[in-house]
Amino acid sequence: MSNEASQWSKPGAPEKAGSKLDFLFDQLNVEEEGLFARDYEGQLVRLVESTAADYDTKVALRIDGKRVVVKKAVPLKDAQGNVVTDKEGRTIPRSTTIYDAAAQLFCKKPGDVNPIPTLCHREHMQPVGACRVCVVELFRTVDGKRRGAGTLVPACHHRVEEDMEVQTIESPNDPEARERVRSAVRMLTELLAADHLHGGASVGKDAPNELAELAQRLGVASSRFAKRQTPRGQDNSSVRIAVNHDSCILCDRC
């Protein structure tokens, strides 16, 4: 993408300047999404699959200064909330992630909002880390004290570990960390907005647009990046579903 500004908000809408910390977006670590991930020090480590024994293992961590205790893994469920089993009838362990822990901590009743945004993930899905707007800042703690600098990681994909300290875009107790995370998420949102939000995006209930809602939440009134020059076209091959690829953000949900 070029650095030409791309307006997608309604005419006359004020443009909010980018954060001075937008350069920190370049520091985002790219996790290996297969057999490996990165630890607190940024080193590649092999992922160990969760087992049924993890159902009874509890993990305590802090998110935005609040303590939460979660199970290390839970049985995998489908979109209807039914437990999924394998051919032998055994439940399939699903590792608990930072996003899951935040949902347990902050979403107590209908209408509550998870401070960690996401576009590509839903609770019943295996995380893929495609959109990266769920990024949070993760700190290693020893005896309750931080050790070293924070690391930006995707919350939907990063498993919970004992004594983690996590800061989100809504963190009330660490303004500097909050701004670093917001800067990264804002940049990612602008990149998506440049290609997919044109001519004033709707945030109404009749036609919900999660990307437009996220942009509004972050105060992103326009994108500094130019729209994709080559249209991706529309797929009308199905008699039931029409796909406008220019509006598709490749979230992998469908």
Choose between 192 and 33: higher pLDDT.
192
Q: What is the mean pLDDT of the chain?
A: 80
The answer to the question of residue 108 being in a domain is: yes
Q: What is the pLDDT of residue 239?
A: 86
The answer to the question of residue 185 being in a domain is: yes
The CATH code of the domain that includes 146 is: 3.10.20.30
Distance of CA 21 to the CA centre of its chain: 19
The answer to the question of residue 171 being in a domain is: yes
Q: What is the pTM of this model?
A: 0.75
Token pair for residue 61? 């961590």
Please name which of 27, 37, 44 lies closest in space to residue 158, comparing C-alpha atoms: 37
The answer to the question of residue 220 being in a domain is: no
The answer to the question of residue 219 being in a domain is: no
Token pair for residue 72? 């290390």
The one-character DSSP state at 40 is T
The answer to the question of residue 12 being in a domain is: no
Helix (H) or strand (E) holding 139: strand 135-142
Q: Is the pLDDT of residue 2 over 80?
A: no
Token pair for residue 150? 């924070």
Q: Is the pLDDT of residue 64 over 90?
A: yes
Q: What is the pLDDT of residues 161-212, one digit of tens each?
A: 999 999 999 999 999 999 999 999 999 999 888 887 765 555 555 667 888 8
Sheet with 58-63: list strands edge to edge.
Answer: 66-71, 58-63, 165-167, 135-142, 145-154
**What is d(CA 84, CA 42) in angstroms, rounded to the nearest whole number?**
33
Q: What is the pLDDT of residue 106?
A: 97
Q: What is the pLDDT of residues 95-127, one digit of tens each?
A: 999 999 999 999 999 989 999 999 988 777 777
74 phi and psi angles, rounded to 5 deg: -135, 160
The answer to the question of residue 247 being in a domain is: no
Please name which of 156, 158, 168 lies closest in space to residue 123, comparing C-alpha atoms: 156
The answer to the question of residue 100 being in a domain is: yes
Query: In terms of residue numbers, what domain contains 43?
Result: 22-195
**What's the number of domains the chain is made of?**
1
Residues 6 or more apart whose CB falls under 8 angstroms from that of 142 comprise 163
